[in-house]
Amino acid sequence: MIRTFVVAAALTLGTAASGFCAEPIVGNWKTASGETAAISSCGGSYCITLKTGKHAGKRIGNLSGGGDSYSGEITDPANDKTYSGSASIKGSALKMRGCVLKVLCKSQTWTRM
């Protein structure tokens, strides 16, 4: 009886802990243009892939980091130009920023779906 309880408790804790391990950036986001982008774990970083719109299926970014701050590369799907990028999360908002030479920057905010 005690052994059954210990096994059940361990399984419950393991399942609960796995829910807390996911980074807040992972999930589906509505972009500034209204398309859906999926951010998922890939090879120790996070890949951004468009799920809807003209460029659906296209990978547009690769970020690394954790918590509420990430950095990496972001590609404009319209012209295939890649920029140094960063992302920060506050609540259900993801602020994406892409820069050329760290001087000319453009930002947009995505919303968690």
pTM of the model: 0.78
Q: What is the pLDDT of residue 4?
A: 39
Mean pLDDT value of segment 48-60? 97
Is residue 111 within 8 Å of residue 39, measured between CB atoms?
no
Give the rounded percent of residues in the chain with a pLDDT score beyond 90.
75
Total Cβ atoms within 10 A of residue 12: 10
Please say if the pLDDT value at position 70 is more than 70. yes
Burial code (b: 16+ CB inside 10 Å, e: under 16) for 73-95 equals ebbebeeeeebebbbbbeeeebe
Q: What is the pLDDT of residue 74?
A: 95
Amino acid residing at 67: G
Q: Where are the domains of the chain?
A: 24-112
Non-local CB neighbours of 23 within 8 Å, separated by 6+ positions: 41, 46, 66, 67
Please say if the pLDDT value at position 108 is more than 50. yes
Total Cβ atoms within 10 A of residue 33: 14
Please say if the pLDDT value at position 2 is more than 80. no
DSSP character string of 53-109 = STTTT-EEEEEEEETTEEEEEEEETTTTEEEEEEEEEETTEEEEEEEETTTEEEEEE
In this predicted structure, which of 17-21, 52-56, 96-100 has the lowest mean pLDDT?
17-21
Q: How confident is the model at residue 23 (pLDDT cuts 50, 70, 90)?
A: confident
* pLDDT tens digits, one per residue of 74-92: 999 999 999 999 999 999 9
Topology at the third CATH level for domain 24-112: Lipocalin (2.40.128)
